[in-house]
Amino acid sequence: MPKASLVSNTSPLLYLGRIGYLNLLPGLFETVLVPKQVALELDAGRLIRRDTIDPRSLDWIRLVAVPQSELDTLPENWLGLGEQAVIAYARKHRHATVALDDLQARLFARSLGLIVVGIVGILLRAKQANLVPAVHPLLDALHREGFYLHDAVHAEALRLAGEV
């Protein structure tokens, strides 16, 4: 099965970078695309925490422009600019999966017919592809870095990973 392209929002890049597993993305996806709006959000994050990734420094990430005219085609919503850019880009380029963790953004993207994956889904795919031996320690590492995951989602991820 050929690998799809991924259009990523801030949180998957931020948190996978913080736990040292950003390299899963090029192993799972043919191309990793990052809207310039998301790169700017990560730039702002580096003002607070210097270890925040810079997608421009990774040769396997392709920055993409998402003009305001594309953002304006989205139905009315309350999402952040990075989330809107990810969704607008994927909506125009239907071959791409979107990486979003925010529930509202995920629901909005799905309502537009987009394929959505979050950090948990990326970790499950990585285990299935034998890129990681277990999901549980990575979920724990994400939690230590401040990534919130509802207890029911955590339990379901472990069940799907075969780790309970």
Digit-coded pLDDT (tens) for 118-153: 999 999 999 999 999 999 999 999 999 999 999 999
Digit-coded pLDDT (tens) for 52-69: 999 999 999 999 999 999
pLDDT of residue 94: 79
Predicted confidence (pLDDT) at residue 157 exceeds the cutoff of 90: yes
Digit-coded pLDDT (tens) for 87-108: 999 999 878 999 999 999 999 9
* Beta bridge mates, 62: 33
Digit-coded pLDDT (tens) for 20-35: 999 999 999 999 999 9
CB within 8 Å of 24: residues ≥ 6 apart? 16, 122, 123, 126, 131, 132
Predicted confidence (pLDDT) at residue 1 exceeds the cutoff of 80: no
5-131, superfamily in CATH? 5'-nuclease (3.40.50.1010)
pLDDT of residue 2: 59
